[in-house]
Structure 1
Amino acid sequence: MNEFAMSGDDLEQMYQEVILEAARDPHGKERFAPDLASENASQAGDAIVQASHEYCTPGESHQFNPTCGDEATVHVEVSDNEPHTIERLVWDGHGCSISQASLSVMVDLVEGKSVDEAMHLADTFHRLMESRGKGLDDEHAEEELEDGIVFQGVSKYPMRIKCALLGWEGMKDSVAKALAAKS
């Protein structure tokens, strides 16, 4: 047996550590969405306003997971020239460690890539989330996901899959809006 081989439990523990670290120090997180709840609360007592798509600019998408309470606004800037590339990808939001870590890993994976490459990675990540913990049959696809592969264990838990996919759905929607604004 290989002395460097990890047991399933050791691998799961390492994946959990990567997820927690990415959630503690998230990449691409910037405060840019208006804090609508506190703005309106100061004007109208305890009024609470939920951010919605009407507050989003072109290239921006607000996503909400009612199951877990995760919320993220994803902002994408796409190059003018073809093939379009993702020049900037930032997000603002809050939620569980899985959603925050997934957003962070997504930024690392897709920023600077062509839109086609980013959509391919989003599709690959989605397939990983459908794997029910088994991973992907394609070793090359797993390598493309880099740190994103740590979410393989999350795919065993149907209630957590939406947490992991939240940012990816926001990125896809943001890219579509950014491209539509250019045409």
Structure 2
Amino acid sequence: GPGTPAWLARLWWWAAGRWYDRHFTAPLNRWRATLGLAPRAHAVGWADEADALIGAFPAWYATPPADWPARLQLTGFFLADGGEAGSALDDELEAFLAAGPAPVVFSAGTATFSARRFYEVSAEACRRSGRRGLLMSTAPGQLPAALPPGVRAVPYAPYGALLPRAAAFVHHGGIG
């Protein structure tokens, strides 16, 4: 935090860098070697040397501080989820949506594979509240084996087509 003595902050960052190098830089360099690329001294910070840097968020979401690289270009959020321009939901999901009140949609993100508890609690919240729910996960192993009545699971549905028909969206807060 802001009150941390400078020497302690430097020590912490040095230790974090050593840990990061052991767990990320070494595997990164093994992969780079398979591609015929030179190793990096540290995995942290090397992206700052890129010719172009893209921030997939708008300035209102996180205004870049003065110490961020000057060549950073903000694109805004990526919205190419297949839900624009009339993209349709599959027939089974359409039938579920049409069969009752708008569901609460739950997603821990497309790249999350350790959210079993999140989905268990989400399904239980739907059961207790009597609300319909839709659990979205690309990793079926993190979903409950048995879902309560009125709760369904899908690997993915295009947000642009689904969310206007949802009662609420419980999301991990990512920028996708």
The structure with more radius of gyration: 2
Which protein has the bigger helix share? 1
Which TM-score applies when normalising by structure 2? 0.24
Does 1 or 2 have the higher relative contact order (CA < 8 Å, sep 6+)?
1
